[in-house]
Structure 1
Amino acid sequence: MRTTTNPIDVHVGQRMRLRRQMLRMDLARLAQSIGVTPDQLELFETGMNRIGAEPLQRAAVALDVAISFFFNGLGASQASYSDPVLIGDALELNRAFFLVRDPAARHRIIDLAKSLASHDASPVDGDRK
């Protein structure tokens, strides 16, 4: 096992964990779907071990995403991806968003979020006000 992590492996693992949590899928179920042990999957999700192309493709199928999902945002700031409070908030927002049936309302929510993000010059710290 490696003693240092590669930022790309960490990012891919975090995206895998995020999607698994969004689907409320437990670690054992995804591990079985991609043919690895839960312990191995945990190492992938933390970036301690690099996931190969074949199990990554199986994970994409099991998680119902394009393989590119795991690489989205790779060049962006990584500060928020490891903050458990922000991840929890994002999951809660995402679940609520899917309950909004009106397409116009969903677009207003997206516009609001983008507007708030562009006006927020403070660093991401996970604090709730």
Structure 2
Amino acid sequence: MAHPVDEHVGKRIRHRRWLVGMTQQQLAEKVGIKFQQIQKYETGANRVSASRLWDIADALEVKVGFFFEGLEETDDGGPAGQVIPADLIGDKEALDLVRSYYAIPENQRRRLFELARVLSDVA
């Protein structure tokens, strides 16, 4: 059985790979491994070593800490799960929206973000 942190890291790898429009094969080539290994990382079936996570972060142009965002700790210091709802990460429409958002030039993206924040405060 996969550890919840390994599953979370795998989901974050898949999420980021999808956002940048990269296939498992392309990521595997950049990292120097087989795409089947990327599949295993993304499902949490295999743990990602620190050095491999470093290479994946480099290939996906994020900091290593990105893969741990959304994890909370319980009182005993163990992982409590995701802050981001699992259905959001698996929701194609939400991911399409995020991908489109990041395709917008930064100055316009900031204005769109402020508009969304105002609209959500109104609702």
**Structure 1: distance between partners of 2:12 and 2:87:** 8
TM-score under structure 1 length normalisation = 0.74
- 1:39 match: 36
Paired position in structure 2 for 1:104: 111
| Percent identity (aligned) | 32
How many Å apart are 1:68 and its aligned residue?
A: 0.5
With normalisation by structure 2, the TM-score equals 0.77
The answer to whether the 8 Å contact 2:20/2:99 transfers is no
Look up the match of 2:2.
5
RMSD of the TM alignment (CA)? 2.3
Match of 1:95 in 2: 99
1:1-129 alignment runs, 5 A limit: 4-75=1-72, 76-77=82-83, 79-80=85-86, 84=90, 86=91, 88-98=92-102, 99=104, 101-102=107-108, 103-113=110-120, 115=121
Residues 35-92 of structure 1 show CA distances to partners (whole Å, capped at 9, x for unaligned) of 22111110000000000001100000000001000000012446425863x2x12221
Q: Which runs of 5+ in 2 are unaligned?
A: 73-81
SS of residue matched to 2:71: coil
Q: Is the 8 A contact 1:31 1:38 kept in 2?
A: yes
Alpha-carbon separation, structure 1, partners of 2:6 and 2:86:
16
User: What SS does the aligned partner of 1:15 have?
Assistant: helix
Gaps of 5+ in 1: 120-129
